[in-house]
Amino acid sequence: MIRSFTLAISATAILLVMTGSTAMAQSTTSDPQGNERPVIGLQHTGPIKVVYQVSEDKWKDGAGKAFLYLKNLRGFYDKQGISASDLDIRAVVHGDASSHVLTDEAWNRVKGVDTGNPNTKLLSELKKLGVSVELCDTRRKREGWSKSDINAGVLLTEAAYARIIDLQHQGYAYIKF
């Protein structure tokens, strides 16, 4: 009896695999480029809480890459019809990315240039969009920067890792950048 049951289960499994393979082959044949593949859309439309950990000195298009991606994320949610009141996006900056939030004057002094911080405009835009940018105060002190060396729109947080953990306990989704 057990052997008959096992054979029946095996035969059913083989039949399912063969049927699935045939269906897959048919769908591939009818759409060889995969143009009819579904795209998963948003399933949760708010409230949305996310914290970016920004620690690497990465650049794209002349600005801090993480800040560009934050702006793009905010824009994506706008296009999906998600209101600003349903969004709480934060960036906790520390490590090698810390200089990205310096004022123009401090940037020039620290980097030995006279161009100003390439992120100044983007930081202002993020603030207007409701994105909160925070700098690890421990890092600021270690670098010897005064509080006035930090862009006025950037908040100071006591310790980056502790802040990220705290935000995660408050329900923020975590993204490492």
Distance (Å, whole) CA 54 – CA 41: 26
CB atoms within 10 A of CB 56: 15
pTM (2 decimals)? 0.79
Let me know the angle formed at the C-alpha of 58 by 55 and 62, rounded to the nearest 5 degrees: 135
Same domain, 14 and 95: no
| Residues of the domain holding 21 | 1-39
Structural domains in the chain (count): 2
Distance (Å, whole) CA 49 – CA 90: 8
Same domain, 68 and 29: no
Distance (Å, whole) CA 72 – CA 69: 5
129: amino acid identity, one letter:
L
pLDDT value of residue 29: 56
Both tokens assigned to 74: 């905010």
Same domain, 167 and 86: yes
Same domain, 25 and 102: no
Same domain, 76 and 150: yes
- Domain of 69, CATH number, reads 3.40.1260.10
Both tokens assigned to 136: 């690890």
pLDDT in tens, the chain (177 residues): 444 433 343 433 333 334 444 443 444 456 677 788 899 999 998 899 999 999 999 999 999 999 999 999 999 999 999 999 999 999 999 999 999 999 999 999 999 999 999 999 999 999 999 999 999 999 999 999 999 999 999 999 999 999 999 999 999 999 998
Both tokens assigned to 21: 């393979």
- Sign of the CA dihedral running 140, 143, 147, 149: negative
The alpha carbon of 5 is separated from its chain's Cα centroid by a whole number of angstroms, namely 50
Same domain, 154 and 123: yes
pLDDT value of residue 52: 97
